Structure 1
Amino acid sequence: MRFVSRRILFYAFTAWAAITINFFLPRMMKGDPVSAYLAKNQGKVSPEAADALRTLFGLDTDKSLLQQYLDYWGLLISGNLGRSFSHGLAPVTDVIASALPWTVGLVGIATIISFVLGTAAGAIIGWRRGRGSDALIPIASFFSTVPYFWMGLIAIAVFSTALGWFPSSHAYSKGADPGWTLEFIGDVIYHGTLPALTIVVASLGGWMLGMRNMMITVLDEDYITVAQAKGLSPQRVVTTYASRNAMLPQLSSFALSLGFIVGGTLVMELVFSYPGVGKLLLDATTAKDYPLMQGLFLVITLAVLVANILADIAYAILDPRARQLEA
């Protein structure tokens, strides 16, 4: 509990710093979202409406910067991230909530699959080092070095255009009625299979190489020799002793990957015309929709922090030495 409490306090301070930077950064930029909105709608917005917009977005010049900062915290606590200019002044929380499930569902599942497969394959290859299975490492690493947009285009050309196995774009068929029905869920899975497989293939090599190298290092430790001398089965030595310690560095990388899932894979969403947070962030940047950008940056930052907290807890559970060093 002492270890967990210290880590939570550290990440709470980090979250406060990130939120504070998220508040001041847009105000340090030239202009403001209201001025950008008024420039696009010259003559359509009255001065009274412009003042109301500035008050709505916490840019009221009658208030001090400290008061605006306190009001910003009040809005955050109440779950109000402002309104998006590029989506008809819709609440930012609603705009993000409409795109977030697509990103988490696709990139999240693909990341977990690639981590599990890559870690398991790397452990087996490291245990059986010097055999034919080592040939999988350069093959997987080759696909990891291919630019993602190029791999996505090749996947579309082969599996969509040539073979016709999967659709080339969008999250579901045109004219489909979104809902929690088996027909619609199957359509979503069908459309998401090709981009998910592309993500898995592109990231599999890194997980395999990292786990394989750590397994080789761990297998030279004395406690592995002692476990083998006791007559333990090879399966138990691999799973209970070697893999458990070798995968500790993998957890940190996996936590960062989970955190950045919320940010989405922008290139993937552009290549496959897939709706998600990454494409939403690009559209918000292009439209200078500062409230939406601010909300997206905040969500991504908090997701990374939460993922790191969970990784630290898992690390402490798997490795008691981490708890002892913290104490």
Structure 2
Amino acid sequence: MNYVIRKLGFYAAALWAALTLNFIIPRLLPGNPVDILLAKLQQRGGSITEETRKSYSILLGGDDTQPILAQYWTYLVNIFQGDLGVSISYFPAKVTDVIGASMPWTVILVGVSTIIAALLGILLGALVGWKPGTWLDSLVPATTLLAAVPYFWLALVLVYILSRGLGLFPGQGGYNVVLDPGFNGPFILSAIEHAILPALTIVIASLGGWLLGMRNMMVSTLSEDYVLTARAKGLPDRWILRNYAARNAVLPSVAGFAISLGFVVSGSVVTEQVFSYPGIGSRLLAAVTNNDYALMQGVFLYITIAVLAANLLVDLLYSLVDPRTRARG
């Protein structure tokens, strides 16, 4: 129980620090979202007054005429009320609505791809590490080479070969625009078809890291005394692989998997941009391009919460898998 309380306290402090940085950093950047909206209004012939500026400032989630501490307090209150302001890029839509509309696309695409890459990489890494020096080791340089290839280049190659060349999958978009979005068969099949190429890009690019990490841990674990003792007792190889070697070698990958799941929320900006995929990555890129600080803050907030929640979960699960961590914690 003390271990859990300490972890909760640590992550609560980390969340407060992240919220504070999320408040400070956009205010250090050049430009002002209120000025951007007022400039657009002026270009359309609108009149600019102090009341107009204050109204826009409040609309975007705060009043920049207030002292910085008052703005910080208003920012924290708005966050805990679920009010992240209004997006400039998608004005007058609220930031929560913009993120909510794009979040499922990224969570499904990147989440499923990350799970597939992790499971496949850990399984192959365990097999390769179990018999180092065999022909299976040739998988390591091949997958590592693919992991070193730039994301956008790999995505473009897959589009050129599988979409333009062979015509197997759509090359861009999240679904067929002639269909009505919803939980119906044609739309779901179209969404799956459009997600195959982006998912394949993520799996190929990240598979090598999982395989190499698991392979190296397996090689290290096989030299441990408890594995040598199990072999000396004449236990079956499958039993040793599953219950001694792989079980202990997979522990670092569990921590890495939690971090990867946390970053699922951020999506893959480059991949989504290449495939024109309607995920959170494309929204973040639009926010940066348009100096949309409210949307940037909202996306970073979701990323922060996702990463902290994933790490908290893995810390709690890790203590169950490896009880020694409770004593060290």
Quote the residue 2:203 is aligned against: 200
Give the Cα separation in 1 of the matches to 2:178 and 2:322: 52
Range with bigger deviation, 209-218 or 305-314: 305-314
TM-score, normalized by length of structure 1? 0.95
Q: Which residue, 288, 293, 298 being the options, matches 2:301?
A: 298
Range with bigger deviation, 111-120 or 6-15: 6-15
Are the counterparts in 2 of residues 263 and 277 from structure 1 also a CA contact under 8 Å? yes
Query: Given residue 259 of structure 2, which amino acid in structure 1 is its aligned partner?
Result: L
Q: Calculate the aligned-residue CA RMSD, in Å.
A: 1.5
Query: C-alpha offsets along residues 266-319 of structure 1, whole Å, 9 cap, x if unaligned?
Result: 111111111111111110111111111111111111111111111212222211
Q: Which residue, 306, 317, 322 being the options, matches 1:319?
A: 322
Quote the residue 1:170 is aligned against: 173
Give the Cα separation in 2 of the matches to 1:82 and 1:288: 14
Are the counterparts in 1 of residues 60 and 87 from structure 2 also a CA contact under 8 Å? no
Quote the residue 1:7 is aligned against: 7
Q: Note if 1:119 corresponds to 2:122.
A: yes
Query: Given residue 7 of structure 1, which amino acid in structure 2 is its aligned partner?
Result: K
Quote the residue 1:272 is aligned against: 275
How do 1:217-236 residues align onto structure 2 when only pairs under 5 Å count? 217-236=220-239
Quote the residue 1:44 is aligned against: 46
Q: Which residue, 77, 80, 84 being the options, matches 1:81?
A: 84
Quote the residue 1:71 is aligned against: 74
Cα shift at 1:215: 0.2
Cα shift at 1:58: 4.6
Give the Cα separation in 2 of the matches to 1:45 and 1:259: 45
Range with bigger deviation, 62-71 or 97-106: 62-71
Give the Cα separation in 2 of the matches to 1:189 and 1:224: 43
Q: Which residue, 174, 179, 182 being the options, matches 1:179?
A: 182
Cα shift at 1:61: 5.0
Q: How many residues align?
A: 326
Corresponding residue SS for 2:291: coil
Cα shift at 1:46: 4.2
Cα shift at 1:102: 0.7
Give the Cα separation in 2 of the matches to 1:280 and 1:61: 25
Any unmatched runs of 5+ in structure 2?
none
Quote the residue 1:24 is aligned against: 24
Q: Which residue, 132, 146, 151 being the options, matches 1:129?
A: 132
Structure 1 vs Structure 2: percent identity of aligned residues?
A: 49
Cα shift at 1:66: 2.0
Are the counterparts in 1 of residues 62 and 74 from structure 2 also a CA contact under 8 Å? no
CA change 1:50–1:112 in 2 (3 A) is same
CA change 1:202–1:58 in 2 (3 A) is closer
Range with bigger deviation, 230-239 or 17-26: 230-239
Query: C-alpha offsets along residues 146-186 of structure 1, whole Å, 9 cap, x if unaligned?
Result: 11111111111111111111111101112111000122111
Query: C-alpha offsets along residues 217-251 of structure 1, whole Å, 9 cap, x if unaligned?
Result: 00100001122233322122111111111111112
Query: C-alpha offsets along residues 98-121 of structure 1, whole Å, 9 cap, x if unaligned?
Result: 111111110110011000000011
Give the Cα separation in 1 of the matches to 2:285 and 2:170: 24
Quote the residue 1:57 is aligned against: 60
Are the counterparts in 1 of residues 61 and 78 from structure 2 also a CA contact under 8 Å? no
Q: Note if 1:106 corresponds to 2:106.
A: no
Cα shift at 1:70: 1.7
CA change 1:54–1:220 in 2 (3 A) is same
How do 1:210-221 residues align onto structure 2 when only pairs under 5 Å count? 210-221=213-224
Give the Cα separation in 1 of the matches to 2:10 and 2:69: 24
Give the Cα separation in 2 of the matches to 1:231 and 1:261: 43
Give the Cα separation in 2 of the matches to 1:197 and 1:305: 27
CA change 1:15–1:130 in 2 (3 A) is same
Cα shift at 1:194: 1.3
Give the Cα separation in 2 of the matches to 1:14 and 1:37: 33
Corresponding residue SS for 2:327: helix
Any unmatched runs of 5+ in structure 1?
none
Are the counterparts in 1 of residues 62 and 75 from structure 2 also a CA contact under 8 Å? no
Range with bigger deviation, 229-238 or 164-173: 229-238
Are the counterparts in 2 of residues 58 and 68 from structure 1 also a CA contact under 8 Å? no
Give the Cα separation in 2 of the matches to 1:128 and 1:58: 58
Query: Given residue 234 of structure 1, which amino acid in structure 2 is its aligned partner?
Result: D
